[in-house]
Structure 1
Amino acid sequence: MFLASLPAQVDITPNDSGLPGIAQLRTIVGAVMTIGLVLAVLALIISAIVWAVGANSSNPHLAGRGKTGVLIACAAAVICGGAVTFVNFFWGVGQSV
């Protein structure tokens, strides 16, 4: 009885004109992505310097911290640069479920 009253298919897609300010929000998100990429490059440069100083001063702890910083900066750049691609990929996966 109850199951017969449910709709057979729900078809909802993102609406980019439903709320005011969507264009400004896209601009803000793009600016934040740019800031994130610039900060990732800065972190990479600083971490590489720390790694070099640690390696040249025979300080394994400092060199290890520099290596960790380089890896984290590279991961942050990948995440910032690929955020749109990641979201679109998982959106497609969700749509195929």
Structure 2
Amino acid sequence: MSVFPDFDSLSGVGDIKLVIGAMLTVILIVAVLMFIICAIIWATAASTGNPGLSSKGRTGVLVAVGAAALAGAGVAWVNWLVNLGGQL
């Protein structure tokens, strides 16, 4: 018995896939830009001896890395669940 989701059973599923793909692209672009900007702020603040701004830059870098990791992990998780459903 093969269980697999029927993506064609609902109208507009193709549009939803396009929207989700576009959102993932935007999330990854924003995460990369945030990483670059926060890394520059972190480096500049650390070299000038501003610990408050350095801490905020470091936090921004960690948030950017976390957002990119969660976006990528979300896609991998959904693909794993779809493959798992096919094995039931």
TM over 0.5: yes
Q: Is contact 2:42-2:54 (8 Å) kept?
A: yes
Determine which structure has more spread, i.e. the larger CA radius of gyration. Answer: 1
Residue 37 in structure 1 maps to residue 33 in structure 2: no
TM-score, normalised with respect to structure 2? 0.82
1:50-76 CA distance string (max 9 Å, x none):
101210110111111111111110111
User: How far apart are residue 17 of structure 1 and its match?
Assistant: 1.0
* Aligned residue-pair number: 87
Structure 1 segments, 4+ long, off by >4 Å, are 90-96
Change (3 A) 1:12 1:93: closer
Q: Which residue among 60, 64, 73 is the counterpart of 1:82?
A: 73
Match of 2:17 among 26, 36, 41: 26
> Which amino acid letter does the alignment assign opposite residue 25 of structure 1?
I
Is the contact between residue 3 and residue 86 of structure 2 (CA under 8 Å) also seen in structure 1? Answer: no
Letter in 2 for 1:83: G
Higher relative contact order (CA 8 A, sep 6+): 2
Residues 93 and 14 (structure 1), Cα distance of their counterparts in 2 relative to 1, 3 Å cut:
closer
TM-score normalised to structure 1 length: 0.75
In structure 1, list runs of 5 or more residues that go unmatched: 1-10
Partner of 1:60: 51
Q: 1-side partners of 2:51 and 2:31: how far apart?
A: 24
